[in-house]
Each structure stands twice: as C-alpha cells, then as structure tokens.
Amino acid sequence: MSNGGYSSESTALLLIDPYNDFLSEGGKLWPVVKETAEGVGLLDHMRQVLGATRRRGIRTIVVPHHRTEPHDYTTWQHLSPTQRNVVRSQTFARGSWGGEFHPDFTPVEGELVAREHWGSSGFANTDLDLLLTQHGISRIAIMGMRANTCVDTTARYGQELGYHVTLIRDAIASFSWDELHATFEVNAPAYAHAILSTGEFLAELPAAAGATAAPAG
C-alpha cells in the first residue's frame, strides 16, 4: 500500500538506464526486452510518468549504467555474469548510438545524471545518495530497466538507506515475464513501500502547477 505524499519537495523520479540499447528498435537488448516492454506498455507509461512529474516540479535523476569502453574489465578479478555479457556484446558502448539515452528520456536543463554504476545498484560507488540528500529527497519513485537487476537492486539499496521506495510496475520491463513476476510478486513486497501502476501513481501526485480544481456541484 502507498502512503501518498509525493510532493515536489521530497520526491524524486529515478530513471534507470534509459539507453537506446534497451529501449529503442535496433538496440542490442531490444529483441529480448521487446515482449515484456510492449506487453506492459513500457514506453508510453514512462512518457506519461515523466511528463506528469516534470509538470509538478518533481525532480528527475537519471541513473545510468557504466558506458562500456573497449578495455573495461580486462584486469578485474571477479566479473559478474552480467558484466561478462557486457564485455562480449559491448552494450551501452561509450560513443555509440546504443549508449545514448532514448530521445524521449534525455534529461532537460536542471535535471541530474548520477555517476554511472558498474554493477546493478544505482547507489553503490556513485553519487546518487549525495544528490538525493543535498536536494532534500526522502521518497524515490523508480522506473526504467531492468526489473530484476538494476531496478530491484537500486530499490533495495534505497530502502536500506532510509528512502521511501515506490516501484512503477508498468513503467519497468525485463527480459522475461518470469523476471517481472520475481521482482513484483516475490522480491519487492518485502522491501518496497508502494508498488503502483502508472495510473495509480499519477492519481497520487499533487495537482500540476497552474492547475485549478473543478468547480463544486
């Protein structure tokens, strides 16, 4: 259950790994993302959430994965299976189209981009916690990629640090329906303060700047 209270003063939207390789036709990972992304309406829901939070002055922070360079990891002792896959496929390669943000989710002036994470957590070895703390943020709403890796790990870490954590479940996708099930039905109920659809999340936001209430009667 959610407690509401997504004010612009205390809330930030974390946009995780919005790279072309994940989200765009022709991206290296799009073929394995496409089924769940289209099934949940990922891109449309992400656009709806980002537009709504921007209109309300809720801060956006992009939380990007490390952009791969040719000699990354060559001296590392303990690569994860995901990092081995990155080495092989050169996903999110720096300087490539796939390593650019999807055009609909590119930060605008005043929006923040955290330092790139090497593993799955947007907090580990980055400045994300510092950025949130310095801007008075106590609630984080999360959307993006990938459900059972960077989304799940960032959300868990955020809860451990004391943030109120919301997952926007139909603005998050993964490589399979099983991965989505594991995230939203098994893992997240143990740590997330709210697991909401896009419609449910938008319904809990304050009125947009300049909006007027409907007349009574």
Q: Which residue has the higher pLDDT, 115 or 5?
A: 115
**How would residue 211 be classed by pLDDT, with cut points 50, 70 and 90?**
low
Structure tokens, 85? 């896959």
Lowest-pLDDT range of 16-20, 84-88, 210-214: 210-214
Tell me how far apart the alpha carbons of residues 31 and 23 are, in angstroms, rounded to a whole number.
Answer: 10
pLDDT digits (tens, 9 = 90+) for 30-88: 999 999 999 999 999 999 999 999 999 999 999 999 999 988 888 999 999 988 888 88
CB-side neighbour CA atoms (13 Å) of 63: 34
pTM: 0.92
pLDDT tens track for 91-131: 999 999 999 999 999 999 999 999 999 999 999 999 999 99
Reply yes or no on domain 11-204 having CATH 3.40.640.10: no
Question: pLDDT of 131-159, one tens digit each?
Answer: 999 999 999 999 999 999 999 999 999 99
pLDDT on residue 89 = 87
E strand or H helix at 177? helix 177-181
What pLDDT does residue 5 have? 87
Q: How far apart are CA 175 and CA 178, in angstroms?
A: 8
CA–CA gap between residue 208 and residue 169 (Å, rounded): 22
* CB neighbour list of residue 34: distance below 8 Å, 6 or more residues apart: none
Per the prediction, the chain carries an average pLDDT of: 93
Element (H, E) at 158: helix 152-160
Q: Which residue has the tokens 């995230």?
A: 183
Share of the chain above pLDDT 70, in %: 94
Give the residue-averaged pLDDT of 196-207: 96
Residue 217 has pLDDT above 60, yes or no: no
CB 108 within 8 A of CB 83: no
In this prediction, residue 6 carries a pLDDT of 96
Query: In the chain, where are the structural domains located?
Result: 11-204
The pLDDT score that the predictor gives to residue 1 is 41
**Residue 164 φ/ψ, nearest 5 degrees:** -75, 125
